[in-house]
Amino acid sequence: MTEKETNEEDVVEETNEGDVVEETNEKNVTEDKPNSVDNGLPFTDVQLVGGIILALLVVVGGLIMFGGGAGYGSAEDFNYPDWADENGLIIDNETNSTNAQAAIQSHTGALTSSSYTITIDGKNQPEDGETEENTLTYKYNSESQTAFGSQEFENNRTETYDRYSEQEQLTAQYIGTDNETYDRRPLLQQSSYTAASEFVELLTALDLEAIGTTDNGDTVVYNITGVNTDVAGELPIEASGEIMLHSSGYFTKMDITLDNNAQNTTTQQTITISDVGSTSVEQPDWYDTAIEQTDEVNASDIEVQQPPTQQPPTNETSP
């Protein structure tokens, strides 16, 4: 999708996500994120964490759940993936680094082999200025090899329909209520958007503590206790919220608030991954119209394109 996108799959997702050029199927596993272009629209602007905590001003949002552990099962009994523990990503004592790639591969592989829905709600609120909000919904089904994404920002909405078997993406752009345009372009992502980079890169920049489990013990809940000073340095940034990890190796939720005290800005974001294994993707109601009004993608179009660079789910639109 969103050319995504995310693509993944996510920092980072759009993604619409093989991001970081995330490919699964045991090829290169980097999270592919969707094609993007500077079109002045929300997909290239206020949205996901694009450069970890140091790029905070374009990220994060949502409802913060200050857990404390009440109502959760014991985190001590949780079956962590090989790359994680009660403090988030495991740090190798010899290299003093985390195996972020293993986490990305795990998250991406678990989702792209099935079906899932990603919902992202973001808000950027300067102390003096207008609050910016956006919402992204992305659905993927591995059986049909299709994905549908929709992102809203202010008075604009962009919807995408990805067909991986045909390597093409259809886009519908709505500006206000009357202006509706369509486009069709090569789909360069090798796998769908999963927001893997958004989760993993934030984990490397935050201090976490497992406070319990939910979902009958299948999901561990991490409380965000602050920003890792080794990453953020002396930046006056405060972080709070929660991140959830499923025992099957994929993240299910991130609720986070970042306060940049230097710029008096609060950024919030909620990423939720749901309906894993039960998400269906239908053709959008504008599909036939888009097919009629756009040119067919051919092999030469695909060959001349270059793979997208790592970035959050974005969509380009026709001039």
- The string of pLDDT tens digits covering residues 107-163 is 999 999 999 999 999 988 877 878 888 899 999 999 999 999 999 887 788 999 999
Strands (E), 65-145: 84-85, 88-89, 91-92, 97-98, 115-126, 132-141
> In the chain, what percentage of residues exceed pLDDT 90?
44
Between 221 and 180, where is the model more confident? 221
CB atoms within 10 A of CB 303: 8
CA-atom Rg of the chain in angstroms: 19
Q: What is the 3-state secondary structure (H, E, C) of 180-248?
A: EEEEEEECCCCCCCCCHHHHHHHHHHEEEEEEEEECCCCEEEEEEEEECHHHHCCCCEEEEEEEEEECC
Q: What per-residue confidence (pLDDT) applies to 172? A: 93
Longest dimension (CA), the chain: 59
Mean pLDDT calculated for residue range 194-223: 93
Residue 26 has pLDDT above 80, yes or no: no
Give the angle subtended at the CA of 220 by the CAs of 98 and 208, to the nearest 5°: 45
Residue 184 has pLDDT above 60, yes or no: yes
Phi and psi based region of residue 152 (left: phi greater than 0; alpha: psi -120 to 50; beta: remaining): beta
Q: What per-residue confidence (pLDDT) applies to 63? A: 28
Cα dist. 47→217, 231, 274 in Å?
Answer: 32, 21, 20
Torsion, Cα 159 162 166 170, to 10 degrees, reads 10
Question: What kind and span of H or E run contains 90?
Answer: none
The Cα–Cα gap between 52 and 36 comes to 19
Contacts of 216 (CB under 8 A, 6+ apart): none
Look at strands 219-227 and 251-260 and give their pairing: unpaired
Least Cα distance to 317 among 197, 194, 160, 139 occurs for 160
In this prediction the pTM is: 0.72
Q: Among all chains, which residue has been given the structure tokens 């790029």?
A: 55
Which span out of 49-63, 74-88, 223-237 was modeled with the highest average pLDDT? 74-88
Contact (Cβ atoms closer than 8 angstroms) between residue 19 and residue 13: yes
Token readout for 142 is 């591995």
Contact (Cβ atoms closer than 8 angstroms) between residue 132 and residue 124: yes
